[in-house]
Chains A and B, each alone.
Chain A
Amino acid sequence: MSSALWPEYLVVIGVMVTMLTVIFSQKSGIGAYFVALAALIASGIVSIVEWSSPNLPVFLFDHGVMVDAFSLVVNGLVLLAAAGALLIGWNDRRYGSDFPVLVLLALLGMMVLGLADNFIALFIGIELLSLPLYILAASRGTQVSGEAGLKYLLLGAFSSGILLFGLALLYGASGTMVISHLVPSHLVLPLAAGGLGLTLVGLVFKLGIVPFHMWVPDVYEGSPLPVTSYMAFGTKVGAAAILMRFLFFGFSLSSGWWGPAVGYLAVLTMIVGNLLALAQKDLKRLLAYSGIANAGYLLVGIASHNIQGARALLFYLLAYGLAVLAVFAIMTFVAQDRDSVSVNDLTGLYRRSPWLAGFLAIALLSLAGIPLTGGFVGKVYLLQAAWFANQPGLALGLVVGAMIGLAAYVRPLQRAFSAPDGAVLEPIPWPWAGSIVLIVAVIGTIGLGVYPTPIVHIVNQSAAFYWLH
């Protein structure tokens, strides 16, 4: 037992205790939620304490995992995502009493992705993250939900297969399992190229980058709302973190192998994702395509391959996650007993619930990248990274994508602020747990936009790729 891994151990303990709670209190099931929340908070506190400790980074299990400031920030992000999902789905019987257990298990996978330093840990992280999400996606029990789970599962298994084969080839080409011990100049080239390519495809599949994005909208649409929020935020954090680790630790010296490819994928994803978002009528599908586009923005941070890129990626993840949590909380309020919200359902939201409409405006404008919101600062950071990398093409792609995306985000807003067509509309109730998420997310979004300095400080300290500059 190494003390550096206490955030993860706490989550594991949380899983166990939550399961026991579920078993021993079959009736109400609310206890499990509280236990899970307690585990999240405890793990978060330990992460924060550790972040400020001086003896980082710590290598454990023979370079199996690496605890450093980067992994701890990833911990923070995924804990936020998990807390958000848990509170949005608070005590919702439709997802079963095992919902908190599965959220915690997936959280563990995401945390491992932030730590992983060898192929085994990488694979375990991906699978620990995916398996509970397959279940969660199907957990609603309706036909649509089951189909979403099935689609996610099949494509997940497929992409894991590609990833595994790529890792196997890389193992053969290098003779080591440890990502940070990969030395590009010692690799056997054809094998390494094939391995790197396949691994990238596998990881990019999980992130939902454009040629491999087909599963995202369907899975988002079919999954229950809290789970979708978890996929949109948490999975993205995990996948982006491991992609960055893998490329920046393993192939930092040979960025020419993957940099251009990732750059083209980024531009393609930003533009195609936003274009497809334009046509969507269902809010969840809209967010799915927006998620694809945002994954493209994240790739900008990776493709620029400099320290600014790493920092910008972390910052943008937080800004994106907060906005997404806010939108999903609002969607849960509006959807009530259903599981989907169309753009038309928002009509007259301003009359029904002015504050909700205002918060929706803030969240969507943050996604669109309007100043005084976190999304804007994040985009500026990414633009900086692209310019520091002398890649104006990336900057241009980002801006063009954001421009197209703007129209997609503004349409639901105009709906929300236009008068309803005469139907009687009752005000929308605010469940307390979801309200906490919503308010925290909105305050965070505005806070990031108005005074980002502390967060910029944290991500600047945490992007621990010291050989980059």
Chain B
Amino acid sequence: MILFVIVALCALIGAVGVVIAREPVHSALFLILNIIALAVFYIVLSAEFLAAAQVIVYAGAIMVLFLFVVTLLTAGKEDQQRSESLKGQRLAAGVLAVLAGGGLAIVAVFNPSRPGLLPLALPRNFGNLSGMGAILWGPDFVYLAAVALMLLTAAVGVMVLNRPRPAPEANPKVREREL
């Protein structure tokens, strides 16, 4: 229970930090804290493989990418620290979201999920590498393939979005009509 409180606090601090940090770099660091706290939960919840994946993919790859972009975009630019003012509409949306999230949390805490009619022990290999492997390379392979396609899409996307382009103004007749 103490472990839960500590890790939950870490996760919450990370989450709140992401939202209120002034600079994107700090946000990113807070998000890493949050992600690692979640990874701890995954271990506790017998999802060892996911915990590893969470740390490697999220904290390792995704967040490094974030940090890289943040520094790329903000390096040497002075102006971006002007504090953001909360306009009415955003504030209202925020308050609404807080209420909804709080309500959701309360509902989740005080209403037990589906009452268990469960076998007592966890199945063998539950959540560890060989268990996940058996599923992902077995019956659920198709989902893995779909994720692979998405990563492929991302690769294509990065190529498309950052390819050199002809300057649109200088050369308006880019379009080919001979076909």
Contacts and interface: CB of A to CB of B under 8 A. Distances in A.
A and B in direct contact, judged by CB atoms within 8 A: yes
Interface of A: 12, 15, 19, 30, 61-62, 64, 90-94, 96, 98, 101-102, 105, 108, 112, 120-121, 124, 127-128, 131-132, 134-135, 138-139, 141-142, 149, 169, 172-175, 186-191, 194, 336-337, 429, 431-433
A132 B153 contact: yes
A127 B160 contact: no
Contact of A138 (B108, B139, B161): B161
Interface string B148-171: 011011101101110101001000
Contact of A98 (B107, B112, B113, B156): B156
B112 A188 contact: yes
Contacts of B107: 190-191, 194
A141 B165 contact: yes
A139 B153 CA distance: 13
Nearest to B155: A19
B179 interface: yes
Given A134-B157, A190-B111, A431-B177, A141 B143 contact: no
A124 B143 contact: yes
Contacts of A138: 161
Given A173-B113, A188-B113, A188-B114, A131 B157 contact: yes
A96 B160 contact: yes
Contact of B163 (A96, A149, A175, A189): A96
B149 A15 contact: yes
B75 to A, nearest CB: 20
B72 interface: no
Contacts of A194: 104, 107-108
B79 interface: no
B160 A131 contact: no
A120 B104 CA distance: 23
Given A131-B153, A132-B153, A91 B176 contact: yes
Contacts of B113: 172-173, 188, 191
Given A61-B142, A139-B160, A139-B161, A337 B153 contact: no
B150 A92 contact: no
B119 to A, nearest CB: 13
Contacts of A105: 149, 152-153, 156
The 8 closest A-B pairs by CB, nearest first: A135-B157, A172-B113, A190-B111, A124-B146, A141-B165, A131-B153, A190-B107, A175-B114
